[in-house]
Amino acid sequence: MTTTTTQPLLEAEHLTKRYEDGVLALDNVSFTVSPGQIYAMLGGNGAGKSTAINLFLNFIEPTDGEARIDGIASHRDPLAAKARVAYVSEQVRLYPSFTAIQNVDFFARLAGKTSYTREDYRQALLRVGLQPEAHDKRLKGFSKGMQQKTGIAIAILKDAPAILLDEPTSGLDPKAGREFVRLLQDLRDEGKAILMSTHDLFRAKEVADMVGIMNQGRLVMQRTRDELHGEDLEALYVRYMAGYMEG
Amino acid sequence: MLKLLIEKELRDAFGSTKFVVTFAVSAVLVLLAFFTGAQNYHTQRAQYEAAVAESMRGMEGLTTQEYMMLRPLALLAPEPLAVLVSGVSNDIGRTTEVRGQGMLVAEGSRYSEQPIYAAFRILDLSFIFQVVLALFAILFAFDAISGEKERGTLRLSLANAVPRGTYLLGKYLGAFLAMTLALAVPLLLGCVILQVMDVPLSGADWGRLGLIVIGGMLYLGVVLGLALWVSASTQRSSTAFLVLLVCWIVGVLVWPRASVLLAGRAVEVPSRDAIMAEINRFQRQQFEESLSSLMDIIPRESGEDGPSAEAIEEFQKRQQELADAREAEGSAFRARVQEDRINRLRVQEQWALRAARLSPATTFSLASSTLAGTSLAMKERYQESTLAYQEAFDRYLREKSGSSQGGGIRIMLRSGDEDDEPEELINLQELPAFTTQPVLFGDVMGHALLDFGLLLLFNLISLAGGFVAFLRYDVR
Amino acid sequence: MFTTLLLKELRLLLLSPKYIATFTVCVVLLLLSVFVGIQDYQATADQVAEARRMDEQLLLEATSWMGLQTRAYREADPLQVFVAGTHHDIGRYTPIGRREIDLDQSPYMEDTLFALFRFLDFAFIVQVVLALFAILFTYDAISGERERGTLRLTFANAVPRVMYLLSKLAGAWLGLVVPLLIPLALAVLLVLVFQVPFGGADWTRLGLLLAYALLYFTGFIALGITVSALTRQASTSFVILLMVWVVFVLILPRVGATLAAQSVAVPTVAEVESQKEAFASATRSRFIDDMRTTLATRNAAMESMTPDERDAYLEANEWEWMQEQDRQRKEMDAEIDAHSRRLNEEVRVRQAVQERRALAYARLSPAAAFGLAAMTLAGTDVGQKARYEEQMDAYRTDFMRFVEEKSGNSGGGIQIRLGGAGSGGSIGGGDDESLDLTELPRFEAAELSLASYINPALVDVALLAVYAFLSVASGFVAFLRYDVR
Ligand SMILES: Nc1ncnc2c1ncn2[C@@H]1O[C@H](COP(=O)(O)OP(=O)(O)O)[C@@H](O)[C@H]1O
Ligand SMILES: [Mg+2]
């Protein structure tokens, strides 16, 4: 598992975001994610992870720099950029009056995938670990984790070259968490470029090909899997957070 | 893409209890409105026919000597569409006692006769659309954008290559279609009710009813558009609802009333009493003059048997000439006195309605009552009909008796020998019958066109506002 | 502890955007309504005064007692500034003269423009808008706290449920009273500034109106809390409450009236009028026939007499005959009058049945009960028309008696039938001098006692109290069993 040197799919270049109220949420951040690579963005609450992902999706405009998907700057041509990326939000909540299948169907079609059959939807839902008896139930009674799984299935079905995951494991039980890690690895092997924000150090270390630590809007450390090999990520994390505080 | 979004909206709507409940309620209301409307129509029809019959009976037994005592009533017939869109039909006088000449005053509005209905008013189709369905439309669309945001589905949707304009249009069309589908069934059933209960509607009437419903849908479209606009301008759906509720209160309940009350009062119109008093005074004067002039020409009794037949005829002719002259004078005077008031009323009406039309609810209400023939024009139509009837009646009188009923005082002379002749009764069959001018389809359409145009414009404005707001919407 | 809870409620409420919205809307609407109401009242009062002046002028110009006629006007009640009720729908005046009383020409018939969207008054605002705000204030009282999780937190402490619910009730109540009282105080100022003639009894009535309003929205507040204690989600309770509001305020009253109309048929004025007319003309022609036969018999009796005998005979009997004819005519008039009274009575009874039914259906809704109580209080209720017509009828009797006395004194002249519009009837010939009108009775509406503004609506007030009590009680029952998780 080596980092490829082909054209990166997700690129952040001098990405800077200052909110209207003056908060500098991202401060000149640059990184790239190539096909077949998982990039784990680590950082505490308010570090700026979601801000970065929102910039890729053009939910907000960058103050400076740009976020590119497959070479397309998100804020220049948002529709083209968004056609090439799938997204799982921090807290997936779907249409409560729809069944899981109906939800998945709607979002798949919205993504332009019209050729899927019901069976495909079932497969995808099974793949993310949603029990078959829940497929035709309305989402009203779903737990947080079940909704999260449905959300991940939606992302898989979009079959986009890049995937953005904002703290996707929140709300998943340990077993589901483990299955999720395996799923991510499969997706990577299919050649997807995956950007995942998380504060779960353990999982990050397990799957990530590249790890970046963010603190107060800055990318304070970035290591490849190989570079990390012998090191204790936890210690590094604590040190960088603390070091930044002092500096 | 648009189709998919609309489909999703429809499914979302029909799956939600909120929608099901609101539309069950509106279905019941619509059916109730049609049913009670049809019943009311028949009651009114029966009452009207009884009144017509009674008025004829009241004139029975008059002899050909008593043409001057004929007082036919011009009764405003109930119209089938008026029970669905009552407009001002219950507020205007429905009975006019017609004299051959002189001023006519309509009496007895339905509300004044039965104040209990004035206190509670009536459940009709236009009320249901204007007030209840508008509220339901708000309830239905207030969280269209902000609700999706709160649920998080907005992010997920817009993480795809969906243009925002398409997304909003999908919302609008989806909501509109859902409401149309939900209303179509009770409305069609309502039409069946009208058919089954034998409410006589002509082809043109059905056309007008159709247009009223279309107007109603256009109005609901405005409400939906506005709801989307507000929803796309607020971050929380509860705020959106609050804003919309205030809009509803103001637009539906307050503005129509306040605008007409304030704008109407801004134009001063002389009271009718003042005008009536002036006319009364003039008439009294005329009356006294006519008395003395008649005294001059009254034939002296030429013997035991009273005046001769020729003398009477001569007198009648002279008398009629004088009466016609006075009547011409009188009506000219009335016209002069009333003209100013009528002009001012027009201006008042224009201002008030112009101001009132700022609210789509008023625009719809005016459009529907215009189409139903129960707008302010109804009063004028009735008035003109009675005036036309008065002319016909006057012609009839002159033909039959050689004299009119106008022009102040009349003296009836009889020669003694006529007494023995058998008295002949007036043939009431020959009396012209009163009919109201029909509501002309082209006419009302022409008048309603402005309101339809306005409703379309409101739709466009609210949609445009929604687009602008949504393009700048913070979807995070 | 209660004060802590109450203060928290008030703080939450006062800081919420809905409070600001409510407050603004209430102030603007109430002031607007009172302003419009005052204008309308003054216009009405001026109109009545002006019309009376003109009538007086016309009376002065009259030269004969016979056929003298005038009008009686319905007067404006100062309370109609707050409760317009049926004021605009009922006739403004009735002719007083030979013709029967008929209170006709309502303000809306004359100025139909204003009938289009009807009136905006205090009672309407309370009935519709304030009730809606009461719901808005309370729909999430319990379910909302549950959703936010604060309910569990609260009940992790030793808080009695009853006290908690009381604080909710009191908080919402106080919160809503303020936006009602402040504009109302301003409205009172307006009333004083514009010099609407408010007497002591009128102030009492205004105070009572406020009390009714408070009772009415207490019911809605408690209802809101009840429903919110019956549901798990605030959005559900809101939808339910909105439906309840729509049904209570917008639908039930109308449907009640409409259904009642269908269950009892009341003849229209036109029908009754023609029936009366038919009876009158039948009676009159009978009278004329009788006269003819008597005349014929008398003529027959005189046939054989010599002219001298005839003159003597006439001399002896003429007075008596005239007396008899007069008596017969009076009898006939009385008969016609009695018949039309009977008809009127019949119609009134049927109308009363219909009204009672409509009221019974409509009163299922507290909004209707409040509306009725308020109208009764302001004297602009449904019965206003009947009340006025009765008084006007009594006045007409006085007026006619007076005129008859006078015209009897001045003696009859020639009888001439009239063909012109305006005054009908007949005139006496003779003097051109104006009449001495000092003793002519003038119409004045009887001053009603305070009780007569209150008693007819006691049912409604009692109903309001029952509704309020029921909703408070059910609120307690629901909340005591509420699952606070
Ligand atoms: N809409 C906003 N307006 C102002 N500041 C914001 C906004 N959204 C986030 N922030 C601030 O930006 C910083 C980064 O937030 P975020 O990217 O959500 O952090 P993370 O996802 O890493 O927890 C935080 O300090 C947060 O307070
Ligand atoms: Mg985050």
Taking only the tens place, the pLDDT of each residue in B121-162 is 888 899 999 999 999 999 889 988 888 888 888 888 888 888
What ipTM was predicted for this assembly? 0.85
* Minimum mean pLDDT range among A199-208, B62-71, C75-84: B62-71
Tell me the residue type at A211: V
Q: What is the helix (H) or strand (E) element at residue A165, kind and residue range?
A: strand A162-166
Contact A94, A110 (CB under 8 A): no
Tokens at residue A79, please?
A: 């529709």
Nearest to B11 among A91, A93, A102 (CB): A102
pLDDT average, residue stretch B346-375? 90
**Whole-angstrom Cα distance, residue B99 to residue B392?**
11
- In this predicted structure, what is the pLDDT of residue A186? 92
The band of B172, judged by pLDDT with boundaries at 50, 70 and 90, is: very high
* % of chain C at pLDDT higher than 70: 91
Which among C16, C110, C116, C132 is the top mutation candidate for probing chain B, defined by the most B β-carbons within 10 Å of its own β-carbon?
A: C116
* Closest to C408 (Cα-Cα) out of C335, C326, C320: C326
Mean pLDDT calculated for residue range B440-452:
87
Q: Is the pLDDT of residue B418 over 60?
A: no
Residue B302 confidence (pLDDT): 52
Question: What is the whole-number distance in angstroms between the Cα of residue A47 and the centre of ligand 1?
Answer: 7
What pLDDT does B72 receive? 86
pLDDT at B469 over 90: yes
- Is there a contact between B162 and A79 if contact means CB atoms under 8 Å apart? yes
In the predicted structure, residue C428 carries a pLDDT above the cut 50: no
SS3 B463: helix
Return all residues near C435 (Cβ < 8 A) that are at least 6 apart. Answer: C59, C60, C62, C63, C64, C65, C68, C406
- The reported pLDDT for the residue numbered C255 is 83
Which tokens belong to A19?
């909110």
For C265-302, write each residue's pLDDT tens digit: 666 666 677 678 778 888 888 888 888 888 888 888 87
- The pTM for the full model equals 0.84
pLDDT at C420: 37
Q: With contact defined as beta carbons under 8 Å apart, do A172 and A180 qualify?
A: yes
pLDDT > 70? residue A243: no
Q: Residue C421: is its pLDDT beyond 60?
A: no
Q: A85 contacts in B (CB within 8 Å)?
A: 159
Name the residue with higher pLDDT: C408 or B135: B135
Q: Give yes or no for residue B416 having a pLDDT over 70.
A: no
Closest ligand to C-alpha of residue A41 is: 1
* Mean pLDDT on C338-342: 85
Q: Is A23 in the pocket of ligand 1 (CB under 6 A)?
A: yes
- Would the pLDDT of B260 be above 60? yes
d(CA C70, CA C97) in angstroms, rounded, equals 7
Neighbors of chain C by Cβ distance (3+ pairs < 8 Å): B
CA dihedral B13, B19, B20, B21 (to 10 degrees): 170
The pLDDT of residue C361 is 81
| Strand C70-73 versus strand C93-96 pairing type | antiparallel
At residue B299 the predicted structure's pLDDT band, cuts being 50, 70 and 90, is low
How many CB atoms are located within 10 Å of the residue B121 CB? 17
**Which chain A residue's Cα is nearest to B473?**
A59
* % of chain B beyond a pLDDT of 90: 24
pLDDT at site C419: 37
User: For C428-456, what is the mean pLDDT?
Assistant: 75
A244 vs A103, residue with greater confidence: A103
Compute the average pLDDT of residues C422-432.
Answer: 42
Query: Could you tell me if the CB of A219 is within 6 A of ligand 1?
Result: no
Contact B160 A91 (CB under 8 A): no
Model confidence at A106: pLDDT above 70:
yes
Per-residue pLDDT for B452 more than 80? yes
**CA A86 to ligand 1 centroid distance, Å:** 22
User: What pLDDT does C130 receive?
Assistant: 92
Q: Does B36 touch chain C (CB under 8 A)?
A: yes
Contact between residue A141 and residue A118 where contact means Cβ atoms under 8 Å apart: no
**Closest approach atom of ligand 1 to CA A23:** 5
Check residue C414 and give its pLDDT: 40
- The per-residue pLDDT for B421 is 55
Question: What is the distance between the alpha carbons of residues B247 and B314, in angstroms, rounded to a whole number?
Answer: 74
Which residue did the predictor score with more confidence, B303 or C94? C94
Whole-number pLDDT of residue B406: 60
Q: Span C315-331, mean pLDDT?
A: 84
Is the pLDDT confidence value at C485 over 80? no
Q: What is the mean pLDDT of residues B275-292?
A: 77
- Our answer on whether the CB atom of A198 is closer than 6 Å to any ligand 1 atom is no
Q: Is the pLDDT of residue B301 over 60?
A: no
Tens of pLDDT, residue by residue over C133-187, are: 999 989 988 888 888 777 877 777 777 888 889 999 999 999 999 889 999 999 9
Starting at the edge strand found earlier in the chain, the sheet holding A85-88 runs: A85-88, A162-166, A193-198, A37-42, A210-215, A218-224
Using CA atoms, how far residue C253 sits from B113, C241, C359, C370, C462, in Å, is 19, 18, 8, 11, 18
pLDDT at position C207, please? Answer: 93
Q: With 50 as the cut, is the pLDDT of residue B57 above it?
A: yes
Q: Is the CB of A21 under 6 A from ligand 1?
A: yes
Our CA-based measurement puts residue A57 at a distance from the nearest CA of chain B, in whole angstroms, of 6
Name the residue of A20, A42, A50 to mutate for ligand 1: max ligand atoms within 8 A of Cβ: A50
Residue B418 DSSP SS3: helix
CB B323 within 8 A of CB B406: yes
The residue-averaged pLDDT of B186-214 equals 91
- In this predicted structure, the answer to whether residue C67 has a pLDDT above a threshold of 80 is no
Contact A232, A217 (CB under 8 A): no
Residue extents of the structural domains in chain C: 2-235+446-480
- B69 or C121, which is more confident: C121
Residue C321 structure tokens: 């005959």
CB within 8 A of B51, min separation 6: which ones? B73, B75, B95, C268, C270, C271, C274
A50 contacts on B by Cβ (under 8 Å): 476
The span from the CA of A43 to the CA of A74, in Å, is: 24
pLDDT at position C31: 92
Over residues C17-45, mean pLDDT: 89
Cα(C452) to ligand 2 centroid in Å equals 69
pLDDT above 70 as % of chain B: 93
pLDDT in tens, C218-232: 999 999 999 999 998
Q: How many CB pairs under 8 A join B and C?
A: 290
B156: which chain A residues are within 8 Å (Cβ-Cβ)? 87, 89, 92, 94, 107, 151, 154
At C434 the pLDDT is: 65
Residue B13 is predicted with a pLDDT of: 86
**pLDDT at residue C169, rounded to an integer:** 92
Contact A28, A196 (CB under 8 A): no
Taking CB atoms within 8 Å and a gap of at least 24, the contacts of C161-164 are C161/C479, C161/C480, C161/C482, C162/C476, C162/C480, C163/C1, C163/C2, C163/C5, C164/C5, C164/C479
| Mean pLDDT value of segment C382-389 | 86
Q: How many CB atoms lie within 10 A of CB B128?
A: 23
Contact of B287 with chain C, judged by CB distance below 8 Å, is answered with yes
Nearest alpha carbon, ligand 1 atom 11: A25
Low-confidence winner among B283-292, C288-297, C418-427 (lowest mean pLDDT):
C418-427
Mean of pLDDT values over A105-131: 90
Name the residue among C113, C250, C355 with its Cβ closest to that of B264: C113
Cβ < 5 A residues, ion ligand 2: A 50
Which of A2 and B261 is assigned the larger pLDDT? B261
Least confident of A135-144, B192-201, B366-375: A135-144
Q: Which atom from ligand 1 is nearest to the alpha carbon of A51?
A: 17
pLDDT: which is higher, B354 or B310: B354
Other Cβ atoms closer than 10 A to A32: 18
Which pLDDT band, with edges at 50, 70 and 90, does B218 fall under? very high
Mean pLDDT of A83-90: 88
Please compute the mean of the pLDDT values over residues C197-218 and round it to a whole number.
92
Partner C contacted by B260 (CB < 8 A) = yes
Q: Report the alpha-carbon distance of residue B111 to residue B119 in Å, rounded.
A: 9
Best mutation site among A15, A17, A18, A23 for ligand 1 pocket (most ligand atoms within 8 Å of CB): A23
Point out which residues pair with A42 in neighbouring strands. A198, A213
Of A134-138, A243-247, B75-79, B445-449, where does mean pLDDT reach its minimum? Answer: A243-247
Averaged over B416-436, what is the pLDDT?
Answer: 71
Residues 59-98 of A with CB under 8 A from B: 59-60, 79-80, 82-83, 85-87, 89, 91-98
- How many whole angstroms separate alpha carbon B239 and alpha carbon B243? 6
Query: Average pLDDT for residues B257-276, to the nearest whole number?
Result: 81
Tell me: the pLDDT tens digits for C443-461?
A: 888 888 888 888 888 989 9
For residue C375, pLDDT beyond 80? yes
Q: How many Å apart are CA A200 and CA A187, to the nearest integer?
A: 19
Using an 8 Å Cβ cutoff, are B469 and B229 in contact?
yes
Within 185-244 of C, beta carbons closer than 8 Å to B belong to 235-236, 239, 242-243
In this prediction, residue A101 has a pLDDT band, given cuts at 50, 70 and 90, of very high
Residue linked to tokens 């049927």: C350
Cα–Cα dist A5/A35, whole Å = 9
Instruction: Please state, as a whole number, how many other Cβ atoms lie within 10 Å of the Cβ of residue C459.
Output: 16
Nearest CB partner across the interface for A57, out of B5, B151, B159: B159
The DSSP secondary-structure symbol of C97 reads: S
Closest-lying ligand 1 atom to the alpha carbon of residue B476: 1
Residues C403 and C397: their CA atoms lie apart, in Å, by 10
Residue C11 CA to ligand 1 centre (angstroms): 29
Q: Chain-wide mean pLDDT for chain C?
A: 83
Closest CA to B89 of B73, B106, B72: B106
pLDDT of residue C425: 38
For the cut 70, the answer to whether the pLDDT of residue C404 exceeds it is yes
**What pLDDT is stored for residue C422 in this prediction?**
38
Residue C409 has pLDDT above 70, yes or no: no
> What is the per-residue pLDDT for C221?
94
Subunit contact B476:A82, Cβ cutoff 8 A: no
pLDDT above 70 for B198: yes
pLDDT of residue C186: 92
Mean pLDDT check: name the lowest of A38-42, B39-43, B142-146, B403-407.
B403-407
Minimal CA separation from A247 to chain B, in Å: 32
**Strand blocks (E) in C6-137:** 70-73, 93-96
Least confident of A26-40, C187-201, C330-344: C330-344
Sign of CA dihedral C421, C427, C431, C435: negative
Q: Which of B47, B105, B119 sits opposite C271 (nearest CB)?
A: B47
Closest-CA distance of chain B to residue C367, Å: 11
pLDDT at A52 over 80: yes
CB of A50 closer than 6 angstroms to any ligand 1 atom: yes
Q: Is the CB of A17 under 6 A from ligand 1?
A: no
In this complex, do A89 and B155 lie within 8 Å of one another by their Cβ atoms? yes
